[in-house]
Amino acid sequence: MFTVRESFALKTGWFSPSVGVQLDPEQTGFIAVENFTSLAEHHELQLDPSKLEMLLALVQSNEHGDVCYQELIELLNSKRSSSFRRAIANGRRTLQREILLDETGLGVYKRFVRYVAYEILPCETDRRWYFHQTKLCPPPVFMAILTVVQIIVFMCYGVMLNKWVLQTYQPDFMKSPLVYHPGHRAQIWRFFSYMFMHVGLEQLGFNALLQLMIGVPLEMVHGILRISLLYMAGVIAGSLTVSITDMRAPVVGGSGGVYALCSAHLANVVMNWAGMKCPYKLLRMVLALVCMSSEVGRAVWLRFSPPLPSSGPQPSFMAHLSGAVVGISMGLLILRSYEESLHKQCSWWVLIFSFITFLLFAIFWNIFAYELLGVQIPPPP
């Protein structure tokens, strides 16, 4: 039996050099399966049952009789690593436990965490892992703060313009330093800041609802870094796509980021249809597609509907489509890589290279193409 100090190290996920020497006396970087099994089964301190399940599964799935010391440390610290998937694959076959829905006596927060697990994750073992290791801190603040800021900005302009629907028909709306306008494309922040402005109450309500209903659960499961990266990639791809394909049009609204999140989630649900256990998933899928299509249709109608205001063309709808492309490509890979390192996947670097190539092309396009093509840009307000 190992010492209390070693058990404490296992409990906390922290290994001191002396404990490492005892677990790996020959300094090979690997721990013998029998030593680790003895430690895991006879340790004196209580260990997270889901984490212990993963550790034992990792040992049992090993064909060489040893466990990589670094992978063990990463798994104990809940870091994403390739060992997680191997543990999951074996744990599903050999370590049967009751499904998460059978858990009783849960508080309000834990019931909400369980609901999120079934909404987002397609595998029962993944759901159990997330349920047991998730913590209230840090909370999903990115989506919440972003939505609050968008509402505040909209209310300020609504009061100032005394208009709450189709605000873009007000000339003063386009004078905002947040709106992307092709005449102001040298002001780089506009390629991002347009996400805080909205055409009217209908667009803001649609985006805010999806950000809270889909974005918050995604952020809870996959973390603020990954979901904020996906959202902002959709936003910047939206404005740059408009600057290439609809060169005379401005852009407002967070639809690029929203469609990146929604498209990624819907694609993940479709590809893992059998494993997803969220209730009424077919009906909800149809309703989501109808709502998203209706929003795109509204944006297309607004872009080409006469009469045009004196300020020029209405905002483009291409940000919606480019956001969806980002979600189906980059976003789907992010959502399918729960508890796995993205930087260790070749497909992730292919996507990053493709996105950077698109960014460079768009930058050169904005610098040279407008003059070379002789595009008549509406005068900036």
Residue 54 has pLDDT above 90, yes or no: no
Does residue 42 carry a catalytic annotation? no
Quick one: pLDDT at residue 38?
Answer: 67
Quick one: pLDDT at residue 261?
Answer: 95
- Whether residue 185 contacts residue 246, with contact meaning beta carbons closer than 8 Å, is answered with no
Of the candidate ranges 61-70, 98-107, 270-279, the one whose mean pLDDT is the lowest = 61-70
More confident residue, 55 or 345: 345
Residue 10 has pLDDT above 70, yes or no: no
Of the candidate ranges 143-152, 211-220, 311-320, 327-336, the one whose mean pLDDT is the lowest = 311-320
Quick one: pLDDT at residue 14?
Answer: 42
Catalytic member of 255, 263, 322, 329: 255
As a whole number, the mean pLDDT across the chain is 79
Quick one: pLDDT at residue 353?
Answer: 96
Tokens of 127: 């759901």
Of the candidate ranges 94-108, 309-323, 347-361, the one whose mean pLDDT is the lowest = 94-108
Region 259-273 average pLDDT: 91
Quick one: pLDDT at residue 43?
Answer: 56
Quick one: pLDDT at residue 18?
Answer: 54
Residue 8 has pLDDT above 50, yes or no: no
Segment 135-178, tens digit of pLDDT: 777 788 999 999 999 999 999 999 998 888 877 778 788 889 99
Handedness of CA 11, 17, 21, 26 (dihedral sign): positive
DSSP helix/strand/coil, 180? strand
Residue 27 has pLDDT above 90, yes or no: no
More confident residue, 141 or 77: 141
Quick one: pLDDT at residue 111?
Answer: 86
Does residue 320 carry a catalytic annotation? yes
How does residue 36 score in pLDDT terms, banded at 50, 70 and 90? low
More confident residue, 270 or 169: 270
Region 269-290 average pLDDT: 86
Region 22-33 average pLDDT: 63
Closest Cα partner for 368 from 179, 180, 185?
185
Quick one: pLDDT at residue 142?
Answer: 94
Per-residue CA distances from 12 to 2, 5, 46, 129, 202 (Å): 15, 11, 10, 17, 49
Catalytic member of 61, 265, 320, 322: 320
Quick one: pLDDT at residue 304?
Answer: 83
- Whether residue 339 contacts residue 133, with contact meaning beta carbons closer than 8 Å, is answered with no
- Whether residue 70 contacts residue 99, with contact meaning beta carbons closer than 8 Å, is answered with no
Closest Cα partner for 15 from 80, 105, 77?
77
Quick one: pLDDT at residue 348?
Answer: 92
pTM score of the predicted model = 0.78
CATH topology of domain 141-373: Rhomboid-like fold (1.20.1540)
Region 287-299 average pLDDT: 90
CA–CA distance, 135 with 201 (Å, rounded to integer): 35
Quick one: pLDDT at residue 326?
Answer: 95
Burial level of 101, CB count in 10 A (0-12/13-18/19+)? exposed
Closest Cα partner for 315 from 226, 375, 237, 255?
255
How does residue 314 score in pLDDT terms, banded at 50, 70 and 90? confident
Residue 197 has pLDDT above 50, yes or no: yes
How does residue 71 score in pLDDT terms, banded at 50, 70 and 90? low
Residue 93 has pLDDT above 60, yes or no: no
Counting residues of the chain whose pLDDT is more than 90, the rounded percentage is: 35
